[in-house]
Amino acid sequence: MTIQRTYEEINKRIKKGEAVIVTAEEIIPIVEEKGIEKATEEIDVVTTGTFGPMCSSGVIINFGHSDPPIRMQRVWLNDVEAYAGLAAVDVYLGATQLSESEGMEYGGAHVIEDLISGKEIKLKALSQGTDCYPRREIETYITKESINQAILFNPRNSYQNYNVAVNTSNKKIYTYMGILLPDIGNANYCTSGQLSPLLNDPQFKTIGIGTRTFLGGAQGYIVWEGTQFYPQVIKDENEKTIYKGGTLAVIGDLKGMSTDYIRAATFKGYGVTLVVGIGIPIPILNSEIMKNVAVKDEDIWTEIIDYSFPHLKKPSLGRVNYKQLREGNITIRGKDVPTSPLSSYAKAQEIAQKLKEEILRGKFLLQEPIQKFSKENEFKPLLEIR
């Protein structure tokens, strides 16, 4: 008999303490031993995790009003400018914005990390002054306790699958994929593979708008498809399936997050970014979903791309799977090339485990998406019209 479960049934079992939950890594030997059908019968939820640099991140802040009040038109937090083209004391601080005094040493992501860890942040704001908001300047200090809201809102996180970056030129290059040594001296990749949320539900059968997630140590939600959302299913000549292009827009209360699961990072010569921990539970509604979460690193393929090519469409140097990447060396054009993950697999494991424990303790219930993602997306380039 084929098993069918609903979100309600799973949540009921979680509340009763009866739910069986494993991580996307632990499920692999279970399915190998028992088969898809038996595993589907026994397991209710599989948890995933990822902890990688995600540039399209930021925080919405409401500072509260000063007396006399100010309609903030330009705002700096620890000398990092936040976008203030909103209401009087609302800003959006982007993770990649650089400090005006320290440059790449400090940026929006560092302000976010400092806020989470409870540090005082220097706020400076300027205004033209209005009749209703007479003040023209303010300098003060804020903490996460002193402000009304600090809402992490990341327009594009949790990339489904990403390229392996290499450099075929004869000089070292500094990229968002890290330092790439000349003559294919190294290869950097950035996905947690078999633990990655969107590779465990590649067709978005359970992940959609409204899905509750682990986000930076707190509970967050998927609010929309991520920007540049363009899921593709590519069948290559050897019948290997490559899923890529899915992304998520996520939101959550920054005040409840922990620097164990959200960190600032600087890629030398490129800039500042935010490393975000995301974990998504996948409800085992049927055997098809179980088949997806049983995916192994050796079955997940990605493309090796030459980042020394300065144009949008960069040449491919072939395909490789995550098992090969994780072993630490791959072969490109006959050369043995060392690999770097950039996305922390150890942290991804920790996040999947933590999410599993929270569900087991009844602290985290599964939320059925209120709307699935559209499948009609396009990936448009920016045209230059003169």
Partner 1 sequence: MLNKKVIFTFSPQNVERPVTYQLIKDYGLWVNILQAKFEPSLGGKLVLELKGEDEQIKEGLNFVRQIGVGIELLEQEVIWDEEKCIDCGACVSICPTGVLFLDKVTYKLKFDYEKCIVCGNCVEACPLQAIKVTF
Q: Which residues are catalytic, by number?
A: 132
Contact pattern from residue 174 through residue 193 relative to partner 1, giving x for each residue in contact according to CB under 8 A and a dash for the rest? ----xx-x---xxxx-----
**How many other C-beta atoms can be found within 10 angstroms of the C-beta atom of residue 73?**
15
Q: Is 345 in the site for partner 1 (CB under 8 A)?
A: yes
CA dist., res. 98 & res. 271, Å (int): 8
- The closest alpha carbon to 280, from 56, 46, 55, 57, belongs to 46
What is the per-residue binding string for partner 1 in 266-285, x denoting contact by CB under 8 A?
A: xxx----x-x----------
Nearest CA to 306 among 182, 158, 159, 160? 182
Residue 347 CB, shortest distance to partner 1, in Å, is 6
274 neighbors 343 (Cβ within 8 angstroms): no
**Contacting range for partner 1; rule: CB under 8 A; set: 39-47, 291-299, 343-351, 369-377:** 343-351
Among 115, 342, 351, 359, binds partner 1 (CB under 8 A): 342
Closest CA to 72 of 130, 158, 119: 130
* Of 147, 344, 354, 358, the one binding partner 1 by CB under 8 A: 344
Query: Nearest distance from residue 51's CB to partner 1, in Å?
Result: 7
Please identify, using beta-carbon distances, which residue of 178 and 252 lies nearer to partner 1.
178
Tokens of 261: 């699961």
| CA dihedral for 268, 352, 192, 211, sign (positive or negative) | negative
Q: Contact with partner 1 (CB under 8 A): which of 341, 354, 356, 373?
A: 341
Decide: is 349 part of the binding site for partner 1 (CB under 8 A): yes
Q: Are 158 and 278 in contact (CB under 8 A)?
A: yes
Is residue 53 at the binding interface for partner 1, with CB under 8 A as the rule? yes
Question: Smallest gap, in angstroms, from Cβ of residue 277 to partner 1?
Answer: 9
**Is residue 97 a contact partner of residue 176, using CB atoms and an 8 Å limit?**
no
| Out of 24, 31, 46, 51, the residue judged to bind partner 1 by CB under 8 A | 51
